[in-house]
Structure 1
Amino acid sequence: MSVRTGVYAAPSTDGIALMDIRAGRGQWRFLDPVGARLWQKITDGANPATAIDDLTAYWRSKGADPTQVRTDLTALADDLERAKLLHHAALAVQLGRPEIRFATPVPVSAAQQLAGHAGLFVALLLLRLLPIRIAVACARAATFLPGRAALPQEAEAAFAAVRRAARLWPGRAACLEESLAAHFAAALTGHRVRWVIGARFIPQGAHAWIEAGTAIIGQDETDRVWPYVPALQVERSN
């Protein structure tokens, strides 16, 4: 199977979440462990019919009705093929055990606040008017601006600047807009953060955030249930 750009995978013991950014604002597809196993076999190179035969035999050995298993797996494989998701996806790497840093008031300089406004403007423009793949491409381009990897407190200042700027903008800036804006704001002040989009399985949901090292920045203590599994990570590779 060939690698398809624009599809990212967040694997977990609870299944796999596929993030497709090839069109519009992107789309998530959650597969349970059975569906994830089928997807993995096919994307590893197995013929779909062979993968279905193998998994049907496996579940028959566990006492499941083979006719129903085959029907369900065939329908899933056909559905994934129509969505062009039966191809290798990019896999994110979890860097160590993450440290969750909740949003707290931090000092923000005038330059950081200006960067917060600029970053938010660009993020809103990209995410509200253009396909998400363009926002991802711009986020990658921002990693090549001069600068160094941000310390956690520097990333917190970029996030706080965006939060303050968002109070003056009409409408609500959700996690996707805030995190992308903080990614840009950090880059404009000579710092690099990691922009991450990921998923959780119980309950199912998606989230976006920034990281500095192994620290996850700017989370609301009562708003998010972790762990989220990264699917897409934007950072400088060297």
Structure 2
Amino acid sequence: MSDFVVPSSVHVTRGERGDMVLLNAHTGQWHLLNETGRVVFDELRRTGDLGCAVTALEERFPAVDADALRVDVDRLVTDLVERDLLRLARHAGGVSVALPERQDVSAGPGSRALAVGCLLVAVVLLRLPLRASIAVVLRLKRNLVRRPATVTEGLAVLELAHAMSRWFPGRMACMELSLTTVLMGAARRQGLEWCFGHSRDPLTFHSWVESGGVVVQRGDDEPVADTYQRVLAV
């Protein structure tokens, strides 16, 4: 009986170094699993059984403590579920997966309307050359912002941006979400930084939000501080 299923929106390709690249066609986000993660994902894709995935890893790494392997598999599966790369099968109600706690993103109609409006503005701005988008953001912040946002305020806005983005049928990745969050902060008179950076190996690019130099991110977001070097903050 399967515990997990891989959504049809997830497309998989094997890398040359034993790793695996995943594309979530629903979110437009790319994900990279190292060889260990690939072993677990392959087994879950083949059998859907969490126990089989743990066994496959134990057989591949017999010298590693079995309890430590199980903890690592639980953490990986939690991340995969949070990124919608893996889903609980409907009959798998007894499977325990430790999902991180989320902040309450309930909001009144006014906040939801503001989030949707900022999302649409962000999508339009990102169709312009980046320099034009940055110029608009700087002008909006200069005219609207009255004080810096706290990290808590920034996280609340980011959660709302994520919640409202789920209905959007187009691309909704780091650029769209980070810009929407910054625009919502400005509309609330709170200043957030729109940041751009890159990692070195492999060379990838990312956009995120900071508050006073502190990264604003949810528990299941891609790590920023240890992965990306900031190049620009707007």
Name the TM-score, length of structure 1 as normaliser.
0.51
Bigger RCO of structures 1 and 2 (CA < 8 A, at least 6 apart): 1
Structure 2 residue ranges without an equivalent (≥5): 1-99
Q: What does residue 190 of structure 2 align with?
A: 191
Q: What does residue 229 of structure 2 align with?
A: 229
**Contact residue 208 and residue 215 of structure 2 kept, 8 A:** yes
Q: What does residue 142 of structure 1 align with?
A: 140
**Alpha-carbon offset, residue 142 of structure 1:** 1.9
**Contact residue 108 and residue 160 of structure 1 kept, 8 A:** no
SS at match of 1:199: strand
**Alpha-carbon offset, residue 220 of structure 1:** 5.5
**Contact residue 155 and residue 218 of structure 2 kept, 8 A:** no
**Alpha-carbon offset, residue 231 of structure 1:** 1.0
Q: What does residue 206 of structure 2 align with?
A: 207
User: Identity over the aligned pairs, expressed in percent?
Assistant: 27
Matches within 5 A, 1:67-78: none
**Contact residue 195 and residue 211 of structure 1 kept, 8 A:** yes
**Alpha-carbon offset, residue 106 of structure 1:** 3.4
Amino acid in the other structure paired with 1:132: L
More strand by share: 1
Q: What does residue 181 of structure 1 align with?
A: 180
**Alpha-carbon offset, residue 223 of structure 1:** 3.6
Aligned partners of 2:154, 2:223: CA distance in 1, in Å?
Answer: 19
Q: Which moved more, 1:172-181 or 1:102-111?
A: 102-111
SS at match of 2:103: coil
**Contact residue 112 and residue 158 of structure 1 kept, 8 A:** no
Aligned partners of 1:194, 1:103: CA distance in 2, in Å?
Answer: 25
Q: What does residue 104 of structure 2 align with?
A: 106
Q: Deviations over 1:54-91 (max 9, x none)?
A: xxxxxxxxxxxxxxxxxxxxxxxxxxxxxxxxxxxxxx
Amino acid in the other structure paired with 1:131: P
SS at match of 2:184: helix
Q: What does residue 131 of structure 1 align with?
A: 129
**Contact residue 103 and residue 217 of structure 1 kept, 8 A:** no
**Contact residue 115 and residue 186 of structure 1 kept, 8 A:** no
Relative to 1, partners in 2 of residues 1:192 and 1:103: Cα closer, same or farther, differing over 3 Å?
A: farther
Structure 1 residue ranges without an equivalent (≥5): 1-101
Q: What does residue 36 of structure 1 align with?
A: none
**Contact residue 198 and residue 231 of structure 2 kept, 8 A:** yes
Relative to 1, partners in 2 of residues 1:124 and 1:220: Cα closer, same or farther, differing over 3 Å?
A: farther
Aligned partners of 1:179, 1:211: CA distance in 2, in Å?
Answer: 9
Q: Deviations over 1:99-157 (max 9, x none)?
A: xxx99333453243332212111110111x32121111111112111421001111011
SS at match of 1:168: coil
**Contact residue 105 and residue 160 of structure 2 kept, 8 A:** no
Aligned partners of 1:136, 1:105: CA distance in 2, in Å?
Answer: 29
Aligned partners of 2:185, 2:203: CA distance in 1, in Å?
Answer: 30
